[in-house]
Amino acid sequence: MAWGSSSSFPRAILHIDGDAFFAACEVAKDPSLRGKPVITGKERGIVSAATYEAKACGIKRGMILSEVKRICPEAVILPSDYETYSLFSERMYAVVRRYTPAVEEYSIDECFADLTGLRRSLHMSYPQIAKKIKQQLDHELGMTFSIGVSVTKTLAKIGSKWKKPSGLTIISLRDAPQYLKIIPTGAVWGIGPQTSAFLQKFGITTALDFACRDKSWIQAHVSKPFYETWQELNGVMVNELNLTGRETYQSISKTKTFTPPSTDSAFVYAQLSKNVENACIKARRWKLSTPLVFFFLKTQDFHYHGYEVSLPFPTSNPLDILREINIYFPRVFKKSARYRATGVTLINLTEEGTLQLDLFGAVRESEGVKQVFESTDKLAERYGKHVVFLGSSFEAMGNAAHLGERGDVAARASNLFKGETKRRRLAIPMLGSVQ
Amino acid sequence: MQRPEEKIASFYHKRHRMPSYSELATLLGYKSKGAVAYVVERLISEGVLQKDRTGRLLPGSLAEGVRMLGLVEAGFPSAAEEELLDVMDFDEYLTPNKESSYVLKVKGDSMIDAGIQEGDMVIVERRQTYKPGQIVIASVDGEYTIKYLRKERELYYLEPANVKYKSIYPKDRLTIEAVVTAVVRKY
């Protein structure tokens, strides 16, 4: 591959990454948090996101909160407010779409955008467009973003990581080797510790070592996804932006932790039942049904006990799934154990509608019940989630998931305007009260 | 002078049935049924009349044609889509710059003379610059405050709309967070 290619930007791909996004959303709402170590994830018991001030104290993602309190007693620990984070996320995409319709919503705090060919119509160079986008994002959302601009997604991602927080790094095709020679292979998007260790055996340490190997060596030694990474590091765009958004799921998981841990079989079963209901709601929303489920109970000492259960026919009806789970639940549940979480995964999801009748008429019976769930979905749309639910989920629905301090809910759910309800609120971030 | 189809339509609507051939002869002023048949064939080919399997006449477009006329005369046509191109919903009206808009809930009565009451929702916009005279949200000691932004001899300060409160003069720096663009109150 020729590095000295005539054009610096055969393509112009932007990668935008929110800096400590969840924590930054909290700080953007509340000025009293500015400059302080702030952490989200109180309801999970572990750190979801931490501001740079918190990271400076040694706090890392996934750390247990008791550990946080020990090393950084002044840290502000907040429950997650996913509604607000999602509203900010939508705004991030919307700001970028002012410049280009080609935006890939990669995750809640990251997106890719294709700026190729926009220099003339916007009367700006690619770095200028990126700078303008960054200014508007930082200003309108009240938090900082890190941006990378380069010729492929993989290189753009290296750019956005290069300087954090609040960085803007432009990597032209010509300059790319200077960046690649500094970063280790493990820091490249898609290269994990296993592959990194494997490459090390061949004397490949930096991203540039990897990029400089010739094509035949790459094809002989690594699998296709890494060959694509190699191409992208060499400036060849193989990974186009996915502009359609998510179209389907192969599997759907629902897991919920509860505190305090429980030894009560009915309560633990209700938690599982609620997860099954939630998974089915999501499956129905995407018009999918499942032939296979996995369910588990997690004990207080973090051990998982579960079963994979195949269903007599593909379904998105929680009653069909619970009927099968009922056979295995007593085998998994031990009276002597304390449980802290349950979960369920619907596996091998297929489009619903391709219906195969079984011998004993169970499919037809389930079809009749289907209308019931079509109605509950409509009720939920109108009156909010879980306005009606299965009796078996009752014990899990009545109480908040967590008693005690972890039961704190995000402020937005309790500070309502007239006309808002606990279930439905205005789709605009609320900054709190003002005197 | 009425046309034949109008005469037939009028008969049909008065008596709620189609005329016989002899009645048609009288109606249209012909002596021979052959002349009647000639006119009927023409009207059938135009779709105004129809014949059933036994040869009796049925109203074709004649029946609906009259009804359509009535509909048009009854009033204005229903709202066409083009007429609604120049309207907006409340979302757009209240938050024209959606991505930079936020809401806050008012506590206290410091802006009561500006018509802003306790419990009101204020819609605000984050902007690059703010001007004196605007009602703004500022952060003072880590808390939001809503006041008029004022300027006196190059010095910015915050003025309440209530004589019970004093103006706030910044010690070192004044941070304006947003400008108030609307107040919403539901009853």
Q: Domain of B28: which CATH number? A: 1.10.10.10
Percent of chain A clearing pLDDT 90 (strictly above): 66
Cβ atoms of B132 and B152 closer than 8 Å? no
CATH code for the domain in which residue B138 is found = 2.10.109.10
Q: How many domains does chain B have?
A: 2
Assign residue A371 a region (left: φ > 0; alpha: ψ between -120 and 50; beta: otherwise).
alpha
Burial code (b: 16+ CB inside 10 Å, e: under 16) for A225-237 equals: ebebbbbbbbbeb
Q: Is B126 on the interface with A (CB under 8 A)?
A: yes
Question: What average pLDDT does this structure show over A234-245?
Answer: 89
Residues A53, A104, A110, A395: which is the catalytic one? A110
pLDDT tens digit string along A308-360?
999 988 899 999 999 999 999 999 999 889 999 999 999 888 887 665 666 66
Question: What average pLDDT does this structure show over A156-170?
Answer: 96
Q: Do B108 and A435 touch (CB under 8 A)?
A: yes
Q: Is B15 on the interface with A (CB under 8 A)?
A: no
Q: Do B144 and A415 touch (CB under 8 A)?
A: no
The C-alpha atoms of residue A382 and residue A283 are separated, in whole angstroms, by: 19
DSSP state of A184: B
pLDDT class of A259 with cuts at 50, 70, 90: confident
- B-chain residues within 8 Å CB-CB of A433? 104-107, 144
**Average pLDDT over chain A, rounded to whole?**
89
Q: Residue A28 above 90 pLDDT?
A: yes
B76 domain-assigned: no
How many angstroms separate the CA of residue A140 from the nearest CA in chain B? 5
When CB atoms are compared, the residue of A32, A141, A428 closest to B143 is A32
DSSP, residue by residue, A72-102 = -TT-EEE---HHHHHHHHHHHHHHHHTT-S-
pLDDT given for residue A260 in this prediction: 84
SS3 A420: coil
B93 domain-assigned: no
Return the higher-pLDDT residue of B29 and A188: A188
Q: Is B162 on the interface with A (CB under 8 A)?
A: no
When CB atoms are compared, the residue of B102, B139, B145 closest to A429 is B102
Question: What average pLDDT does this structure show over A160-176?
Answer: 95
pLDDT given for residue B69 in this prediction: 41
What's the order of all strands across the beta sheet hosting A49-50? A49-50, A38-40, A76-78
| Same domain? B40 vs B116 | no
| Same domain? B102 vs B176 | yes
SS3 A414: helix
| Most confident segment among A24-38, A372-386, B65-79 | A24-38
Q: Looking at A66-80, A107-121, A201-215, B50-64, which range is the least confident one?
A: B50-64
Q: Looking at A128-132, A221-225, A342-346, B30-34, which range is the least confident one?
A: B30-34
When CB atoms are compared, the residue of A94, A426, A431 closest to B99 is A94
Contact partners, residue A59, CB within 8 Å, separation at least 6: A37, A39, A47, A50, A68, A71, A72, A75
A135, closest residue in chain B (CA to CA): B128
| Same domain? B106 vs B58 | no
Q: Quick one: chain B helix, strand, coil %, rounded to 5?
A: 35, 25, 40
Q: Do B103 and A426 touch (CB under 8 A)?
A: yes
| Same domain? B44 vs B102 | no
Q: Looking at A45-54, A82-91, A110-119, B4-13, which range is the least confident one?
A: B4-13
B110 is known as an active-site residue = yes
Burial code (b: 16+ CB inside 10 Å, e: under 16) for A186-200 equals: bebbebeeebbebbe
Query: In the CATH scheme, what is the homologous superfamily, with its name and number, of domain A252-397?
Result: DNA polymerase, Y-family, little finger domain (3.30.1490.100)
- A-chain residues within 8 Å CB-CB of B137? 431, 434
ipTM score for this prediction: 0.72
CA–CA distance from A239 to each of A127, A230, A235, A341, B54 (Å)? 22, 11, 11, 38, 73
Q: Looking at A173-177, A364-368, A382-386, B47-51, which range is the least confident one?
A: A364-368
Test the B interface: residue of A90, A91, A96, A434 with most B CBs within 10 Å: A434
Q: Residue A6 above 50 pLDDT?
A: no
pLDDT given for residue A7 in this prediction: 73
Q: Residue A2 above 50 pLDDT?
A: no
Chain A: residues touching B (Cβ < 8 Å): 31-34, 91, 94-95, 139-142, 415, 417-419, 426, 428-435
The C-alpha atoms of residue A78 and residue A89 are separated, in whole angstroms, by: 19
Q: Which residue in this structure is represented by tokens 């369920």?
A: A344
Q: Do B101 and A428 touch (CB under 8 A)?
A: yes
| Same domain? B102 vs B178 | yes
Q: Is B124 on the interface with A (CB under 8 A)?
A: yes
When CB atoms are compared, the residue of B99, B102, B186 closest to A419 is B186
Return the higher-pLDDT residue of B75 and A56: A56
Percent of chain A clearing pLDDT 70 (strictly above): 92
When CB atoms are compared, the residue of B100, B110, B142 closest to A435 is B110
Q: Is B142 on the interface with A (CB under 8 A)?
A: yes
Return the higher-pLDDT residue of B122 and A2: B122
pLDDT given for residue A237 in this prediction: 94
Cβ atoms of A158 and A179 closer than 8 Å? yes
Q: Do A430 and B98 touch (CB under 8 A)?
A: no
Which pairs with CB-CB distance under 8 Å and at least 24 residues apart come from A1-5? A1/A234, A1/A235, A1/A236, A3/A173, A3/A174, A3/A176, A3/A177, A3/A235, A4/A174, A5/A173, A5/A174, A5/A235
Test the A interface: residue of B92, B117, B144 with most A CBs within 10 Å: B144
The C-alpha atoms of residue A149 and residue A169 are separated, in whole angstroms, by: 6
Q: Residue A173 above 90 pLDDT?
A: yes
The C-alpha atoms of residue A203 and residue A33 are separated, in whole angstroms, by: 47
Cβ atoms of A16 and A147 closer than 8 Å? yes
Q: Is B93 on the interface with A (CB under 8 A)?
A: no
- B-chain residues within 8 Å CB-CB of A419? 186
Whole domain around residue B112: which residue ranges? 98-184
The crossing angle, in degrees rounded to 10, of helices B61-74 and B4-15 is 80
B147 is known as an active-site residue = yes
Tokens representing A338 are: 């304390």
When CB atoms are compared, the residue of B126, B144, B186 closest to A434 is B144
pLDDT class of A203 with cuts at 50, 70, 90: very high
B79 domain-assigned: no
SS3 A338: coil
Q: Which amino acid is at A281?
A: I
Q: Is B128 on the interface with A (CB under 8 A)?
A: yes
pLDDT class of A423 with cuts at 50, 70, 90: confident
pLDDT class of A401 with cuts at 50, 70, 90: low
- Compute the residue count for chain A: 435
- Closest by alpha carbon to A182, among A205, A166, A149? A205
pLDDT given for residue B1 in this prediction: 63
Residues B110, B131, B151, B167: which is the catalytic one? B110
B89 domain-assigned: no
- A-chain residues within 8 Å CB-CB of B102? 428-431
pLDDT given for residue A404 in this prediction: 59
Q: Looking at A23-32, A296-305, A353-362, B66-75, which range is the least confident one?
A: B66-75
Q: Which amino acid is at B97?
A: N
Q: Do B103 and A417 touch (CB under 8 A)?
A: yes
SS3 A321: helix
pLDDT in tens, chain B (187 residues): 678 888 888 888 888 888 888 888 888 888 888 888 888 888 888 888 888 888 788 887 776 654 444 344 445 556 555 666 678 889 999 999 999 999 999 999 999 999 999 999 999 999 989 999 999 999 988 899 999 999 998 889 999 999 999 999 988 778 999 999 999 999 9
